[in-house]
Amino acid sequence: MRKFFAFMLILFVFAPIGLCALFAASVGTWALNPDFYRNLLNDERLYQALLEEQVPTYLSQARGSSFAGLPTAALGAGLQAVLTPEYLRDQAQALITNIFDALEGRAQTITPTVDIRPIKAALSGAGASAFASAYANNLPPCSAKSPAAGSTPLPTCLPQGAAPAQLADQVAAALPGAVTNLPDEMVVGDTLRVDLTDVGSLDGGLNLASLGLGGALALLFGVAVLVWVVIGLLGGTSPRGVLRWLSGALFVPVALLAVFALLISPLVLPIGAAMQEIRVNNAPVSPEFSAAIAQVLQNGLGQFSGGMLTVAALAGVVVVALYILSFIVPGRRRRDWYGEQDTFMEKPKRTIP
């Protein structure tokens, strides 16, 4: 009956609690590490796709933008002539810093924005000529339905008989006035208020977020260890039996965590398909941007599953060590003429008379 209760505890109590504890331990290796997110968002293809499609789409469709109504392809070509993907990468790194500043009590809000001021500075200065040339060379030819210009003096199409070089001079001359109405920041999401300033950063580099995660881990592991010990004492009738029950009980959540980690990798395929449905500012994203996002998610899932496999491997070492140790400690106690003695066999060997 004791073994039956121990088995039930493994299935319905220790397995879920132990799995949650091991999972939380694997998440704790990266969840509050800003370098994890900086490395994850370090793929240049992501920012190249943003610069080619998403930023010019936003500028041409943003309400009140000086570039409203301009062709996205030409605007994107012009921006790529004066900006680099590193510019957007710096913006992503700044957002990560903003998030962790809020979590550590140094800021009150998380504001996902892109700083447009470098674009305005480039188009108002030495980069105006490069932008104008690339923009004019990528303008579509004018047709009977083409408007002469957008909300700025910049042309929206190439008139018949006009050379791109001639139009580039007109664009360069109009740029300083065109950028004055551009916003200083491109808002890419809602502002989230996370006011932890009353707590702030604590001594030793700790903060409320890390304390919360550490407390949750301590609670989970404390409950799991308590149930684990009870299982060993219920199931085992000797030191050897206790160790084997402890080893077998721990094997269950370890195996579940390893299986879960191995099942994560194939998820990148449906996630990549779901990327096609993403919309930014009510506009569908480009295939290049979808592919870049899918690659970022694939890298993140790889690191996520790798962390779980690492924790599962470390816990697996404990499982094997306990099982090996069970062969060293005494088994059942036997009684003979000399009193009670430990034996290394669970059951006495049968002797041949």
CA distance to 15, 69, 171, 281, per residue, from 73 (Å): 55, 12, 16, 18
The Cα 131–Cα 119 span in angstroms is 11
Does residue 320 have a pLDDT over 60? yes
| pLDDT tens readout for residues 134-169 | 999 999 988 866 654 555 678 888 888 888 988 898
Does residue 122 have a pLDDT over 60? yes
Task: Say which residue the tokens 């109504």 belong to.
Answer: 69
Give me the residue spans of the domains in the chain: 2-116+182-199+207-327
Average pLDDT, the chain: 81
Interval 269-281 mean pLDDT: 58
**264: confidence class by pLDDT, cuts 50, 70, 90:** confident
The token pair at 15 is 């397995």
| pLDDT tens readout for residues 64-82 | 677 888 888 899 999 999 9
CA distance to 95, 96, 110, 207, per residue, from 198 (Å): 22, 21, 16, 11
pLDDT top residue among 162 and 196: 162
Does residue 4 have a pLDDT over 90? yes
The Cα 256–Cα 258 span in angstroms is 5
Are 78 and 101 within 8 A, CB to CB? Answer: no
Question: Which residues on adjacent β-strands are paired with residue 279?
Answer: 284
The Cα 43–Cα 89 span in angstroms is 9
Share of residues in the chain with pLDDT > 90 (%): 31
Sign of the dihedral through C-alpha 136, 137, 143, 145? negative
**Which residues are within 8 A (CB) of 63 and not within 5 positions of it... i.e. 6 or more apart?**
none
The Cα 48–Cα 276 span in angstroms is 18
